[in-house]
Structure 1
Amino acid sequence: MVYSDLDYRKTAFIFELDNVLYPEKDYLLQVYYLFSNFLEYTEMTPAKEMLGLMTKVFEEKGADAVLDAVQVEFKLDEKYRQNFAHLMVNAKLPLKLLLYQKMLQLLQDIVVDRKKIFIVTNGHPPLQLNKIRQTDWNGLEKYLTCYFANEYAPKPEPDAIHTLIKEHQLERRELLMIGNGNIDEATAEAAGIDYISVDNFLNFN
C-alpha cells in the first residue's frame, strides 16, 4: 500500500511512533550499548558479553525482561536500575534513528499533498520526546504535530485524539489513523475514526 491507495478525502493522518514510523529496537539497542559500556567502565564487566545478553533477552522475552536478566547474570547492585532508567529516558544516541523507508515516503507524499500529520504516541512523554528529537526526519519535523497520550489518558483511551480534533477543528471523517496492534486499533474505534495497520505499508503481512 502507498499514499495513492488511500482515500483522497482524508485530510489528516495520525501515527504512533514506535514500530510505526521507525523500529523501536533501534533506540533500545543503542541504549543497551551505552549501558553496557558504562558498566564496563564502572564495574569492569565485559561490555560485549553484556550487550549480547541484553540483545538476546530483548529478542526472546521483550524489553521488560532485559535488566532483570542482566542483574542476575552479572550480579549488579540494585542502584544500577536507576541508572538504567535514567539512561533509557535521556540517552544521547551514537546514531540517529532512521524512519522506515516506506513510512518516510508516505510522510513526504502527505506533505506534498498539503495535508496534516500528527503523532499520537503512548509511553512516558520525556522518553518519547527523546526518541522524536533523535530521529532523522529528513526535514519533515516542521510538519509534525505531536501529542503524548499519557498526558491525557494512555491509549486505547481516545482523549488525546479528541483533543487533537478539537484544537485543529477537524471532522472525524477526515482522519485516518495508522498504527500497530490492538491498542491503536481500539483507540481509533473509540475515537470514531478510520484505522489502517502499518503492516499494509511495510508488507509485514
Structure 2
Amino acid sequence: MKYSDLDRNKTAFVFELDDVIYPEKDYLFQVYYLFASLLEYTELFDAKVMTDLMVNTYHTEGPEKVFDKLKEKFAIDEKYRVNFLHLMLTARLPLKLLVFQAVLDLLQDIVVDRKKIFIVANGNPALQLNKIKQTEWHGLEAYLTCYFAEETLSMPEPDVLHLLMKEHDLNRRDLILIGKSEAMELCAEACGVDYYNVSKFL
C-alpha cells in the first residue's frame, strides 16, 4: 500500500512511534549494549555475553524481563536497576534510529502533498522524546508535530486525539491513523477515525 492508495481528501496523518516509524528493538538493543559496557567497566563482566543474554531475553520473554534475567544470571547488584532504567530514558545512542523505508517514503509523499503529520507516542514521554530526537528524519522533523498520550491519558483513551483535533482545527473525517498496537486501534475506533495497521505499508 502507498500514499496514492489513500483517500486524497484526508488532510492529516497520525502515526504511532514504536514499530511504526522505526523498529523499537533498534533503540532497546543499543541501550542493552551501553548498559553491558557500563557493567564491564564497573564489575568486569563480559559485555558481549551480557548483551547477547539481554537480546535473547527480549526475544524469548519480553523487554520487561531483561534486567531480572541479567541479575539472576550474573548476580548483579539490585542497585544497578536504577542505572538501567535511567539509561533507558536518557541514552545517547551510538547509531541513529532509522525510519522504515516504506514509512519514510509515505512521510515524504505526505509532505510533498502539503498535508499535516503528527506523531502520537504512548508510554513514558521522556523515553519517547529521547527516541524521537535520535531518529534520522532526513529533514522531515520540520514537518512533524508530536503528542505524548500520557500527558493527557494513555491510549486507548482517546483524549490525546481529541486534543490534537481541537488544537489544529481538525475533524474526525480529516484524519488517518497509522499504528500497530491494539491501544492505537482502539483509540481510533473510539474516535471514529480511519485506521490502518502499518503492516499494510511495510
| Interval containing the TM-score (normalised by the shorter chain) | over 0.9
Counterpart residue number, 1:105: 105
Distance 1:114 1:95 in 2: 30
Counterpart residue number, 2:96: 96
Partner SS, residue 17 of structure 1? coil
Distance 2:41 2:181 in 1: 39
> Deviation string for 1:41-62 (max 9, x for gaps)?
0000110100010010001111
Structure 2 segments unaligned to the other structure (5+ residues): none
The answer to whether 1:78 aligns with 2:85 is no
Distance 1:165 1:52 in 2: 44
After TM superposition, give the deviation of residue 15 of structure 1 in Å: 0.4
Q: Which amino acid aligns with 2:60?
A: E
After TM superposition, give the deviation of residue 123 of structure 1 in Å: 0.6
Distance 1:151 1:79 in 2: 29
Distance 2:182 2:47 in 1: 36
After TM superposition, give the deviation of residue 171 of structure 1 in Å: 1.0
> Deviation string for 1:31-76 (max 9, x for gaps)?
0000000000000011010001001000111100101000000101
Distance 2:182 2:51 in 1: 31
Partner SS, residue 89 of structure 1? helix
Counterpart residue number, 1:29: 29
After TM superposition, give the deviation of residue 182 of structure 1 in Å: 1.5
Q: Which amino acid aligns with 1:32?
A: Y
Counterpart residue number, 1:160: 160
Counterpart residue number, 1:142: 142
The root-mean-square deviation of aligned C-alpha atoms, in Å, is 0.5
After TM superposition, give the deviation of residue 134 of structure 1 in Å: 0.2
The answer to whether 1:67 aligns with 2:75 is no
Q: Which ranges of 4 or more aligned residues in structure 1 deviate by more than 3 Å?
A: none
Partner SS, residue 14 of structure 1? strand
After TM superposition, give the deviation of residue 181 of structure 1 in Å: 2.7
How do 1:121-132 residues align onto structure 2 when only pairs under 5 Å count? 121-132=121-132
Distance 1:160 1:183 in 2: 12
The answer to whether 1:54 aligns with 2:54 is yes
Partner SS, residue 110 of structure 1? helix
Distance 1:94 1:6 in 2: 36
Q: TM-score, normalised by structure 1?
A: 0.98
Distance 2:61 2:140 in 1: 34
Distance 1:152 1:192 in 2: 19
Distance 1:43 1:51 in 2: 15
Distance 2:47 2:60 in 1: 20
Distance 2:181 2:131 in 1: 20
Structure 1 segments unaligned to the other structure (5+ residues): none
Distance 2:192 2:169 in 1: 15
The share of aligned pairs that are identical, in percent, is 61
